């Protein structure tokens, strides 16, 4: 299966030597405490043991803009963010912008592994890479700001103040303002403070969700999913996919699940490709078929998800192909799955299945 019950609530966990918490996942502590580093504060100093790639940065020079991005070799979301970060560095290098990817020692992350990955990536990591000194930089930035989940980036403006703390995929708008010198640091600080308040509330809800899931208290789980979505529909829309799976799989209330999917598609999740894809796949997952399904609705959800990702996501194209297949349009399933396979060769078995069905054969014949 492409997802599990709470998969959308988990991204990438922090190293075991630090308090383990993922970006946007369950956990209390840092989000609820007074933070030593916030947006609007002066940026801490770097403490680097070795500059793995690029020119050393002794200090943050006035008039320059810096993005400090924390990552690890074992963190898949970190790896997935590298092309975007590289593109930002290339695009804005002539505007006094420097990206520094900082990584630290832990049980799964070594200097040797970092050097190997950097060499393999080549231009795929088109920015400076640094090895932390005894996790001092991690402590000064990550721990001080309550950000134990990676990837996490810090944007430092031309006066040396922190203008952004968060996922590197969400930095673009603030970066554009900082580079242009039009950002409002006080407003950004207020936004960050508000986000931390929401995070603290979300952490409490997500703790209860995990407890409810373990206890199989599905009706309570649904209520908590609603609370999370209501807290911030954009940030926590993933809880909608969890609610859908609870309704469809755990409670076997497909009528209610499908009605909820239609509501999500028309409203708060209409621009969230991952949520729409998760709902569509749940409806047509061949490994876990529902008592009844709505192939037309699954197709509608998948089409929208593919539109949002501009046909660049192999996994989402794979879902659309399956939806066409379940709907009975084998030719279209083959065409779309061929696109998916071009992006990810591991999806070939589904294409073989569809071609076999068209030929009137069973897969493998």
- Grouping H, G, I as helix, E, B as strand and the rest as coil, residue 304 is helix
Q: How far apart are CA 102 and CA 67, in angstroms?
A: 10
Q: Is residue 208 part of a domain?
A: no
pLDDT at 30: 40
Q: Is residue 364 part of a domain?
A: no
Phi, then psi, of 23 in degrees rounded to 5: -60, 120
Q: Are 103 and 177 part of one and the same domain?
A: yes
Q: Are 222 and 331 part of one and the same domain?
A: yes
Phi, then psi, of 130 in degrees rounded to 5: -130, 145
Enter the tokens of residue 37: 């580093």
Q: Are 228 and 326 part of one and the same domain?
A: yes
Query: In whole angstroms, how far apart are CA 231 and each of 98, 226, 241?
Result: 35, 9, 16
Q: Please, are residues 9 and 26 in contact by the beta-carbon 8 Å criterion?
A: yes
Rg (CA), the chain: 22
CATH classification at residue 126: 3.40.30.10
- Domain end, chosen from 147, 162, 193, is at 193
Q: Tens-digit pLDDT profile for the chain (365 aa)?
A: 454 333 333 345 443 333 222 333 323 344 445 789 999 999 999 999 999 999 999 999 999 999 999 999 999 999 999 999 999 999 999 999 999 999 999 999 999 999 999 999 999 999 999 999 999 999 999 999 998 799 999 999 999 999 999 999 999 999 999 999 999 999 999 999 998 899 899 999 999 999 999 999 999 999 999 999 999 988 898 899 999 999 999 999 999 999 999 999 999 899 999 999 999 999 999 999 999 999 999 999 999 999 999 999 999 999 999 999 999 999 999 999 999 999 999 999 999 999 999 998 655 54
128-132 and 48-53 strand pairing: antiparallel
Classify residue 149 as left (phi > 0), alpha (psi -120 to 50) or beta.
Answer: beta
Q: Is residue 200 part of a domain?
A: no
b/e string for 62-84 if b means 16 or more Cβ within 10 A? eebbbbbbbbbbbbebbbebbee
Q: Are 181 and 244 part of one and the same domain?
A: no
Q: Is residue 211 part of a domain?
A: no
Q: Are 176 and 307 part of one and the same domain?
A: no
Q: How far apart are CA 193 and CA 3, in angstroms?
A: 32
Query: In whole angstroms, how far apart are CA 275 and each of 76, 157, 233, 282, 344?
Result: 20, 34, 12, 11, 21
Q: Is residue 274 part of a domain?
A: yes
- Domain end, chosen from 193, 224, 250, is at 193
Question: How far is it between the farthest Cα atoms of the chain?
Answer: 69
Instruction: Please give the residue range of the domain that contains residue 257.
Output: 216-358
pLDDT at 27: 34
Q: Is residue 201 part of a domain?
A: no
Q: How far apart are CA 54 and CA 99, in angstroms?
A: 10
CATH classification at residue 231: 1.25.40.10
Enter the tokens of residue 50: 């070795």
b/e string for 101-122 if b means 16 or more Cβ within 10 A? bbbbbbeebeeeebbebbeebe
- Domain end, chosen from 162, 193, 224, is at 193
Q: Are 67 and 186 part of one and the same domain?
A: yes
Q: Are 186 and 256 part of one and the same domain?
A: no
Q: Are 256 and 182 part of one and the same domain?
A: no
Q: How far apart are CA 260 and CA 242, in angstroms?
A: 12
Q: Are 31 and 163 part of one and the same domain?
A: yes
Q: Are 331 and 228 part of one and the same domain?
A: yes
Q: Is residue 171 part of a domain?
A: yes
pLDDT at 25: 31
Q: Are 41 and 125 part of one and the same domain?
A: yes
Q: Is residue 2 part of a domain?
A: no
The length of the chain is 365
pLDDT at 9: 32
DSSP labels for 270-302? TT-HHHHHHHHHHHH-TTS--SS--HHHHHHHH
Q: Are 175 and 229 part of one and the same domain?
A: no
Half-sphere exposure of 311 (CA within 13 A, CB side): 8
The count of structural domains within the chain is 2
pLDDT at 362: 58
- Grouping H, G, I as helix, E, B as strand and the rest as coil, residue 124 is helix
């Amino acid at each position: 299966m492409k997802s599990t019950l709470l998969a959308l609530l988990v991204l990438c966990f922090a190293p075991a030597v630090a308090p383990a918490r993922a970006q946007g996942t369950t956990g209390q502590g840092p989000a609820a405490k007074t933070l030593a580093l916030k947006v609007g504060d002066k940026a801490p100093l770097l403490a680097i043991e070795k500059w793995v790639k690029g020119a050393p940065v002794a200090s943050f020079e006035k008039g320059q803009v810096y993005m400090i991005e924390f990552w690890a070799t074992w963190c898949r979301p970190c790896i997935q963010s590298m092309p975007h970060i590289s593109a930002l560095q290339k695009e804005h290098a002539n505007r006094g912008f420097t990206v520094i990817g900082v990584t630290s020692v832990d049980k799964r992350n070594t200097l040797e592994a970092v050097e190997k990955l950097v060499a393999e990536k080549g231009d795929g990591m088109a920015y400076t890479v640094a090895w932390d000194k005894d996790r001092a930089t991690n402590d000064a930035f990550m721990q001080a700001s309550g950000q134990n989940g990676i990837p996490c980036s810090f944007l430092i403006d031309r006066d040396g103040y922190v203008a952004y703390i968060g996922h590197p995929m969400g930095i673009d708008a603030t970066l554009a303002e900082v580079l242009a010198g039009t950002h409002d640091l006080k407003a950004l600080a207020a936004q960050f403070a508000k986000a931390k308040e929401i995070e603290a509330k979300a952490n409490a809800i997500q703790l209860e969700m995990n407890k409810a899931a373990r206890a199989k208290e599905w009706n309570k789980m649904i209520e908590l999913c609603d609370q999370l979505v209501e807290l911030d529909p954009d940030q926590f829309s993933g809880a909608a996919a969890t609610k859908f799976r609870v309704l469809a799989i755990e409670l076997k209330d497909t009528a209610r699940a499908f009605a909820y999917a239609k509501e999500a598609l028309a409203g708060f999740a209409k621009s969230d490709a991952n949520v729409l894809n998760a709902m569509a796949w749940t409806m047509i997952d061949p490994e876990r078929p529902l008592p009844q399904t709505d192939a037309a609705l699954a197709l509608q959800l998948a089409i929208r998800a593919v539109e949002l990702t501009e046909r660049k996501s192999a996994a989402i194209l794979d879902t659309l192909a399956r939806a066409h297949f379940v709907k009975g349009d084998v030719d279209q399933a083959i065409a779309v799955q061929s696109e998916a396979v071009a992006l990810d060769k591991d999806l070939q078995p589904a294409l073989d299945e569809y071609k076999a069905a068209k030929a009137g054969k069973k897969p493998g014949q």
